[in-house]
Amino acid sequence: MTSFLISAIALLILVLAFLLRPFFFANKKSETSRREMNTAIYREELDKLESDRTSGVVDSASYEQIHAEMRQRLFQDTNEADDLSVLRSPKKTMIGVGIFVVALSAVFYFLWGGAFQIAEQNSPNPMSQESVEKMVNEFAAKMEKDPENLQGWAMLARSYRILGRNADAAKAYARAGSFIDSDPQFLADYADALAANAGGKFAGKPLELINKALALDPNNLLALWLSGTASFDSQNYKAAVQTWERLAKQLPADSDEARALTASIAEARAKGGLAPASTPVISNKGVSGQVDISPQLKSNVKAGDTLMVIARKPGERMPVAVLRVAAGAFPISFVLNDSLSMSPTALISQLPEVSIEVRISKTGMAAPESGDLISEPQTIKVGTSNILLLVDKVRP
């Protein structure tokens, strides 16, 4: 709002400057009056008349008559009040124009809306549940008139699923026919809708659709979840654990979904009397060395800053190991091994090499931020020691 008002005031000042420019920069040259102009014209005519008399074009009698008439007209024209244009009361004019422009701008502003009103008019109103339902119903009505549009029926089914109308979704998927036969996501979604309508039971067509989806895409997330759930419900806990563990490998280890899935796997193991997942043996194999900082950046490090040494599998963003320590006196020694791994299924000791870098953060947040002090990433063979990492850059 402040920036808008500043821009509006600046524009108003610019307009007034253009309008009032003649008053600020008045012409300093003296204007020629009409009296002076008439005198000059008659002088030229008298000179021409004299020339005509000398050359014999006009005789003496005519010359005297014309000369007398011209003197009389000259006296009449130059005897009138001079009409040289004079700018009267420029200050009043300037004030009047300024008040008029400001008042007109204010009227337009309040008549057509201020910045907040314009923003409110232009901002899209969030769609209500009723409006979404109306749109979906209108789409369904169009599909009834175009029953051969199989893709449209699949889209309508997905819309019903979003609205939680599983019965309508199952009917729409059925009418989508062959269009969904080669799409594992549609097949899994159809199976989920059928199972929901059957009170969570997967026997029959839902399980058939799940298996078909996994045959097309063995890593489809929804199909894997439903397949494990179907095995769990039928008390085939071993199959449930195996399926869910395949799913767990595709999820970020620190995500809510992964934590929920880990709890489900643990429950399946407990109910099936299966042994707990084996804990990987912690290996001391890793990388080690020292972190130093360039003299130019030492003054940038403050008390409370966090130093992070981060190891990643080359080409990937997810760290495999992270060391966090308070940024203190340099150089700082570090060791990265399996005890600092981010996931028990992704250990630094199992990698042939890692990309390693240093970041000094003011906030200690995991995500990089502007102003962080960083080092150049280095690709190091796992097992290497005496590495030197130099912090010599500021993240833009």
- Choose between 306 and 99: higher pLDDT: 306
Contact indicator for 39, 78 with CB cutoff of 8 Å: yes
Q: Nearest to residue 335, comparing CAs of 373, 263, 282, 258?
A: 282
| pLDDT band at residue 150 using 50, 70 and 90 as cut-offs | confident
pLDDT of residue 86: 45
Does the pLDDT at position 91 exceed 50? yes
CATH architecture, domain defined by 130-272: Alpha Horseshoe (1.25)
Does the pLDDT at position 378 exceed 90? yes
Q: Is-above-0.85 flag for pTM?
A: no
Contact indicator for 314, 251 with CB cutoff of 8 Å: no
* Tens digit of each residue's pLDDT (9 = 90 or more) over 23-60: 555 554 444 555 666 666 667 777 777 777 777 776 77
Does the pLDDT at position 291 exceed 90? yes
SS3 145: helix
pLDDT of residue 97: 59
Report the 10 Å Cβ neighbour count for 113.
Answer: 13
CATH topology match: 130-272 vs 287-394: no
Which residues, at least 6 apart from 142, have a Cβ–Cβ distance to it below 8 Å?
152
**Under CATH, what is the fold of the domain 287-394?**
Immunoglobulin-like (2.60.40)
Report the 10 Å Cβ neighbour count for 309.
Answer: 26
SS3 183: coil
Q: Where are the domains of the chain?
A: 1-20+97-118, 34-75, 130-272, 287-394
H runs (alpha helix) in the chain: 2-19, 21-24, 34-55, 60-78, 90-112, 115-122, 129-145, 150-162, 166-176, 184-197, 205-216, 221-233, 237-248, 256-272
Q: Nearest to residue 166, comparing CAs of 190, 150, 187?
A: 190
Q: How far apart are CA 309 and CA 288, in angstroms?
A: 10
